[in-house]
Chains A and B, each alone.
Chain A
Amino acid sequence: MEKSLFRYIWTHSRRDQMIICAVVLASLPFYFMSLDLPRQIVNQAIQGEAFREGNPTAPFLNLSFDWPGWLGGGTWEIFEGFQVGRVGLLMGLSFIFLFFVIVNGAFKYWINVSKGVLGERMLRRMRFDLFAMVLRFTPDALRTVKSSETATIIKDEVEPIGGFIGDAFITPVFLGTQAITALVFIMVQNMWLGLIALSVIAVQFTIIPRLRRELLRLGKQRQLASRQLAGRIAEVLDGIEVVHVHNAYGWERAEIGHRLFNLFSIRLKIYNRKFFVKTLNNFLAQLTPFFFYAIGGYFALRGTLDIGQLVAVIAAYRELPPPLKELIDWDQQRLDVQVKYDQVTQHFAEDRLGPLIEMREAAEADQPLVGALVGEEIRVAGPHGDLILEGGAFAVELPGGAAASLLARILARRSLEFSGRIRIGERDLTQLPASVTGRRIAYAGVDPILFPGSIRDNLVYGLRSKPLGRMKEDRQEMDRRIAEALRTGNPIESISDQWVDYERLGAKDENELDRILLDLLDKVGMGDTIYLFGLAGRIDPERHASLAERLVEARHRLRDTFQSNGMADLVEPFDPTRYNSQATIAENLLFGVPISDEFRGRNLADNAQFRSAIDRAEMTDDLVHMGLQIAETMTEIFEGLPPGHSLFEQFSFIGADELTEFQAILRRRGRGEGTLRREDRTRLLSLPLAYIEARHRLGLLDEAMMGRIVEARGLVREVLEKAGSDGVEFYDPQGICTAAPLRDNLLFGRVSYQVANARARVGEAVAAVVRELDLQEEVDRVGLEYQVGTAGRLLSPQERASINLVRCLVKRPDILVIDGAFASFDEARSQQLMQLLLDMFDQQSLFMVLPNDRQAGDFDVQMRFRDGQIITDKTAAPASRPSKPEPDAPQRIAGEVA
């Protein structure tokens, strides 16, 4: 990026800046006119100067210009105007004034909008440029760059710069000319008053920026400190486990507290300084009117200045301070954002960035990577410049145990810090364009990196190299999008386009790709997990149309299976006319699944619509009474357990920290304080909503009560529907409920808490019916939509590793580099996976770093490292797999490396 902010702005927005400037200049004459008009209205129309010599009429719209005395004097008449009377002149001048007000307003509007748009465009460009640079950070730089700080920079720190860009050139031009116009106007009216105003302005412009220099220094400190604060918070959050394990709360609290104190101190200094400067500035600005009143008044008394002139001068001066003040502010802002810009560019300094990512499509080079893999004179230098690797073909010398892994990283182009050459056939590995290596080499390291999104999104991540341009987009909207992108140096590709080339993978469409993904997941042993994810997932009737259609059929089939196998008591079905004792009272009242948060959990007790419905059903008192009983039991049996005990979380209706509050409610009631308070009633009401008779067994519900709850269902639904609320999706025995998980849609009921081993038996029955109806693949496809969470944290390490592996496999790479990707699997599982990979990569190459010798048997080429040197380089009989390129190279490092 350009070193200077102004150069950056000028390079990218020259045209827009100049257009806006031109309009600003064009608006000035109008502005000037509007300044002169009040004087004319007072002097000529009201005081009647125009009619002084007894003229009944005076010229209106007389366009003439009086040259000031020091330019030789005289009048330049352009249009002699209409002759009008006094009232006519007043009205005419007033309407002209109104006209100029409107014109000036229109100019201001256009200029502000254009400036804003310009600023937003430049902000977009700048953010994108910075992000493009993020992608270019060298591995070296990445060791010191903190992700959260970088995010703060791109999101927050450039924001004021973007806001400033629209003002960068225009504001000084606009406000400067305005100020000069006003000043010239004052000068024209009275030389001395003009000189006074000018000298005060000169003082303002010399002193204030000087005082503000300190402010800038503080501002810089503040920016760094708050950026570091953001970085620190992210660090603590990322390493929260260590904080918990080592009980470092106190230290972390003090650490952040200290930072906040520093930040506060800096800001305090800034405030003191800022308001001092502001006060001084205001004082100077008010000094001029003082001179005007005193000196101008004196002249007026002496008769050398007419009152109209003085009024106009003061009016003009009133116009002067805002532009001046803004101009000084602009100058302050300019220095401020220049400092910010410098800090941002420092973060993205050239020496931290790798070469520009080549986007060129090297079509001729996109050939399969076949041929002998040869390394020549590879050398790797250590971090302190000591030479730690040298020798001939594949002679690697390294301290520590990283030799094999390093070689793997070099092969996968993860590490570029080596000398020597690696060739594949005739081609140099390091010279291949990223488009080729990205497609033909896959690397699975120890740490499976997943992005938030569905499992499917993560699996196809490696397939999204470029869009195929098959998107149907509204022509107009597309033109607008592309035009904006071109204007701001952004990419013109749309993410709604189809990025995955199905044909290349041998799939016809999305469904077939899903099939390939599921097949691979199944092969690496994640099939059952995906099925379970599918059952827990939600169906989208549009995406999973065929599944949605057959779901009700499957539901009936499942019911029949239960009936015929004597398992009818395992699941209590949802029945619109019966109470389901395996479900909560809330669920029984709603007979549906909440969609919005205000109907979920305890919020329901606070929901006005729900409350009015149960009021109408006359259930509120009963529910509150149940709440009292629950609170009594809970406070009795959970008393004495320390807060935070796991039993609370698992079993209690009441959180440990609420226990005392409920005890207080019970005490208030025990003392006979009459009716309960409103908020107490709401809290009590929330308790029975989560009550499941079969599970909690407090004996709160009898047949009559259950019957009344079933009756209240209709009322609840009626009230909610009448209020137009879409917070709840109601159950329909003949339809699907998209808000409920697939499993619930299949069962359409609740598994009994009372029957031993019910869950497992129901699970088996469901699996059998799914298989029978051939729905397994559909369910699995729902499972592909399972959200993996931030960095895949909603998955187990094994699941993450499996997905990482499948992401590599689905690319069908020519070379697959496995470097510790099996670390989270036990030995039996990794042995299976390795066999699988060996079978799959019969025609391609597999390069694998192995933890021990036992698994090395089936590889064609084996390398062993000791002290960083390759000690054996065994090549299996080439007859066994003649067509295969050689780099099937397991390497042993454990225990042998110094």
Chain B
Amino acid sequence: MTLETEVQSLRQVPMFRDVDPARLKLLAFTSERVQFADGQRFFSQGDPSDSAYVILDGRASVLLNTPGGEIQVAELGSNALVGEMGILSDTPRSATIMAAEPTTALRIDKRVFLELLAQFPQMSLAIMRELAKRLERTNAQLVAQSSS
């Protein structure tokens, strides 16, 4: 797997869809490709947010701490972006991510990511657009829930 395939994966992530290919290449190049063993944690809930991950290959579970122990709330597959909210809002991790099988991910460093955003407004715009869409979706879901 090379930089090119990673760029292909990044392109599948909605947040990066509109970003210029050269920038995506820079993002991929400045990121690290890391492998997690089955059961190894990407990070744990409450950790400081220092990076985001794009899953290139494999699956990971999203776990939440509850009084009754950790429960799985979702599962992420290929091309999923995780941990980006934490680095944007500078808050601790809101959930635990654990590899559900041997998984390869692209680790995007927070500092590098923010510097790229600061440097290339077009990238920031693409991210904002995606965040706005998410907000819209959440609003729609709220409306749907309250009306039901």
Contacts and interface: CB of A to CB of B under 8 A. Distances in A.
Are the chains A and B members of one assembly? yes
Contacts of B1: 697
Interface in A617-663: 633, 636-642, 645-647, 650-651
A645 B23 CA distance: 15
A697 B3 contact: yes
A756 interface: yes
Nearest to B99: A756
Given A641-B119, A647-B115, A756 B34 contact: yes
Nearest to B28: A697
Q: Which of A641, A647, A696 has the most CB of B within 10 A?
A: A647
Given A637-B29, A756-B42, A647 B112 contact: yes
A738 to B, nearest CB: 31
A639 B22 CA distance: 9
A650 B109 CA distance: 12
Contact of B22 (A636, A696, A753): A636
Contacts of B112: 647, 650
Nearest to B104: A754
Given A636-B22, A647-B115, A696 B35 contact: no
B40 A756 contact: yes
Given A754-B35, A755-B35, A633 B25 contact: yes
A754 B30 CA distance: 14
Interface string A663-698: 000000000000000000000000000000001111
A650 B30 CA distance: 9
A637 B2 CA distance: 15
Contacts of B59: none
A636 to B, nearest CB: 6
Contact of A697 (B6, B26, B105, B115): B6
B32 A699 contact: no
Contacts of A754: 33-35
B115 A636 contact: no
Nearest to A755: B35
Q: Which of B22, B26, B34, B36 has the most CB of A within 10 A?
A: B26
A650 B29 CA distance: 11
Given A636-B22, A647-B30, A698 B35 contact: no
A570 to B, nearest CB: 10
A638 B112 CA distance: 13
Nearest to B111: A646
Given A647-B30, A756-B34, A637 B119 contact: no
Nearest to B36: A756
Nearest to B7: A637
Given A645-B119, A698-B3, A756 B29 contact: no
Interface residues of A, number: 23
Interface in A749-790: 753-757
Interface string A720-757: 00000000000000000000000000000000011111
Contacts of A640: 22, 119-120
A754 B6 CA distance: 14
Interface string B2-21: 11101000000000000000
B102 to A, nearest CB: 11
Contact of A753 (B3, B26, B29, B32): B32
Nearest to A636: B22
A754 B106 CA distance: 10
Contacts of B26: 637-638, 641, 647
A699 B34 contact: no
Contact of A651 (B30, B34, B36, B107): B30
B125 to A, nearest CB: 16
A650 B111 CA distance: 12
Q: Which of B1, B115, B116, B120 has the most CB of A within 10 A?
A: B115
A636 B25 contact: yes
Contact of A637 (B25, B40, B107, B115): B25
Contacts of B2: 697-699
B134 to A, nearest CB: 27
A752 B76 CA distance: 25
Contacts of B6: 697
Contacts of B25: 633, 636-637
A655 to B, nearest CB: 16
B47 to A, nearest CB: 12
Nearest to A699: B2
Contacts of B116: 647
Given A646-B115, A699-B3, A637 B35 contact: no
Contacts of B22: 636-637, 639-640
A645 B1 CA distance: 28
A697 B104 CA distance: 14
Interface in B32-46: 32-36, 40, 42
Contacts of A638: 26
A153 B2 CA distance: 61
Given A637-B22, A639-B22, A756-B36, A651 B29 contact: yes
Contacts of B115: 645-647
Contacts of A641: 26, 119
Given A639-B22, A645-B119, A756-B40, A696 B34 contact: no
Contacts of B36: 756
A697 B30 contact: no
A571 to B, nearest CB: 14
Interface in A268-307: none
Interface string A39-62: 000000000000000000000000
A319 to B, nearest CB: 78
Nearest to A700: B2
A750 to B, nearest CB: 15
Contacts of A651: 29-30
A757 B47 CA distance: 15
Contacts of A633: 3, 25, 29
Interface in A171-191: none
Interface string B97-138: 000000001010000100110011000000000000000000
A169 B139 CA distance: 101
A640 B107 CA distance: 23
Q: Which of B22, B23, B120 has the most CB of A within 10 A?
A: B22
Contacts of A636: 22, 25
A313 B42 CA distance: 101
Given A636-B22, A637-B25, A647-B115, A699 B4 contact: yes
A756 B35 contact: yes
A878 B14 CA distance: 76
A648 to B, nearest CB: 11
A568 B108 CA distance: 26
B11 to A, nearest CB: 15
Given A651-B30, A754-B35, A755-B34, 11 more contacts: A637-B22, A637-B29, A640-B22, A645-B115, A645-B119, A646-B115, A650-B112, A651-B29, A697-B3, A756-B42, A757-B40
Interface of A: 633, 636-642, 645-647, 650-651, 695-699, 753-757
- Interface pairs A-B: 10 shortest CB-CB: A699-B2, A756-B34, A637-B26, A637-B25, A697-B3, A756-B36, A651-B30, A754-B35, A755-B35, A697-B2
18 contacts: A633-B25, A636-B25, A637-B23, A637-B29, A640-B22, A640-B119, A640-B120, A641-B26, A645-B115, A645-B119, A646-B115, A647-B26, A647-B30, A696-B3, A696-B29, A697-B3, A699-B2, A755-B34
